[in-house]
Each structure stands twice: as structure tokens, then as C-alpha cells.
């Protein structure tokens, strides 16, 4: 009986191991696609915020709050999404210095979290001019990282 438990436990460990392995290793193509999708989501939220700020749509500050919340959450995924270096070749604009200057890269991702979190608070007060100013700071956080770590290929 004890032997059966032992075998079951061992089998469980092996199986668990397999499952864990499956969870942690994305293929390079998926890895690149995932982080590009996360970044596109960030861009989409900032794009939506920008449409409100430009006055192209009438949704006002409440939509800036919601989009800024989504952006602040999504920005937390950046470090994880880029951790896996396997996908630094192929159709990607990610520069190799992301992984050699990892601390600086993740610091910049944290700057985006902080600036978008600040945008939530500013937007809750509803003053569109102040919102516009804080959106500039959010854009600056994006651009500051792109300047160092992104290279669009022609």
C-alpha cells in the first residue's frame, strides 16, 4: 500500500514536472507574438485616450480613467513578456540591449506603470488640460523606452 502511494506520488511529481515545463517554455514565435500583442494593447489604450484628448469622441474623462487603468495593469506585464530572450531574432523590433540592460529596461516599464497610474488620478478630477499634460508624461515614458530599446526595421 505504501509502495502504491509512493509510486503515485512519484508519478505525480513527474507529471507535475511535465506540466510545469509546458507552462514555462513558449516557443520563440509565440514569445515574440505575445509581447507584441501586449505592446499593441498598450498602444491601443493610449490611442483611445488620445482620441478623447483630441476631442474626436465625446466620452470625456471617465473613458480616460478606464483606459488608463487598463494601461497601468497591462504595463505590469511588460517585464514578464520580455523576460524570455529566445525570440530576439526574426520579425521583431526589440533590440538586444533589452537583455543586457535588463534593469534599465524594467525600470522604464515601471515608469510607464507610475505615469499611467498618475493619469488615473488626474483623469478622476476631470480637468482635460491637466489630463493632456499627464498624457504627455505617459507618452514620454513610452517614447523614452522606445528610443533606447526599440528599432523599427525597414
Partner 1 sequence: MVFFAVVASGAARAGDLVERGAYLAAAGGCVGCHTDVAGKGPAFAGGRALVTPMGTFYGPNITPDPVHGIGAWTEGEFLEALRHGIGRGGVNLYPAFPYPSFTGISDEDAKAIKAYLFSLPAVAKASKPHALRFPFNLRILIPVWNWVYFKAGPFKPDAARPPEWNRGAYLVEALGHCAECHTPRGVLGGLERGKAFSGTRDGPDGKAVPNITPDPETGIGKWSEADLTYFLETGIDPDGDVTGSAMGEVVKNETSRLRADDRRAVAAYLRALPPIAHRVDRKAK
Single out the residue of 26, 38, 44, 114 in contact with partner 1 (rule: CB under 8 A).
Answer: 44
- Cell 515574440 sits on residue: 32
| Residue 110 within binding range of partner 1, rule CB under 8 A | no
Residues 3-42, interacting with partner 1 (CB under 8 A) = 42
Least distance to partner 1 from the beta carbon of 154, Å?
4
The three cell numbers of residue 85 are: 530572450
| Residue 154 within binding range of partner 1, rule CB under 8 A | yes
| Residue 151 within binding range of partner 1, rule CB under 8 A | yes
> Which residue, 55 or 58, has its beta carbon nearer to partner 1?
55
Least distance to partner 1 from the beta carbon of 148, Å?
8
Q: Which residues are CB-neighbours of 136 under 8 A, at least 6 positions away?
A: none
| Residue 142 within binding range of partner 1, rule CB under 8 A | yes
Q: Of 39, 67, 44, 48, which is closest to residue 146 (Cα–Cα)?
A: 39
| Residue 58 within binding range of partner 1, rule CB under 8 A | no
| Residue 65 within binding range of partner 1, rule CB under 8 A | no
Q: Of 123, 88, 90, which is closest to residue 105 (Cα–Cα)?
A: 88
DSSP string of 53-85, one letter each residue: HTTSSTTHHHHHHHHHHHHHHHHTTHHHHHH-G
What phi and psi values does residue 127 have, to the nearest 5 degrees? Answer: -80, 110
- Contacts with partner 1 by CB under 8 A lie at 42-50, 53-56, 91, 93, 135-136, 139-140, 142-154
Amino acid at each position: 500500500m505504501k509502495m502504491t502511494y509512493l509510486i503515485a506520488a512519484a508519478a505525480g511529481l513527474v507529471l507535475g514536472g511535465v506540466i510545469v515545463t509546458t507552462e514555462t517554455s513558449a516557443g520563440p514565435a509565440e514569445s515574440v507574438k505575445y509581447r507584441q500583442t501586449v505592446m499593441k494593447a498598450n498602444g491601443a489604450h493610449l490611442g483611445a485616450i488620445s482620441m478623447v484628448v483630441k476631442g474626436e469622441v465625446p466620452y470625456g474623462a471617465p473613458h480616460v480613467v478606464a483606459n488608463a487603468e487598463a494601461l497601468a495593469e497591462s504595463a505590469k506585464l511588460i517585464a514578464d513578456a520580455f523576460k524570455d530572450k529566445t525570440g530576439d531574432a526574426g520579425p521583431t523590433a526589440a533590440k538586444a540591449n533589452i537583455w543586457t540592460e535588463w534593469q534599465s529596461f524594467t525600470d522604464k516599464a515601471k515608469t510607464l506603470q507610475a505615469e499611467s497610474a498618475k493619469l488615473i488620478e488626474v483623469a478622476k478630477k476631470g480637468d482635460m488640460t491637466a489630463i493632456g499634460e499627464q498624457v504627455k508624461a505617459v507618452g514620454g515614458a513610452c517614447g523614452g523606452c522606445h528610443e533606447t530599446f526599440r528599432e523599427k526595421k525597414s
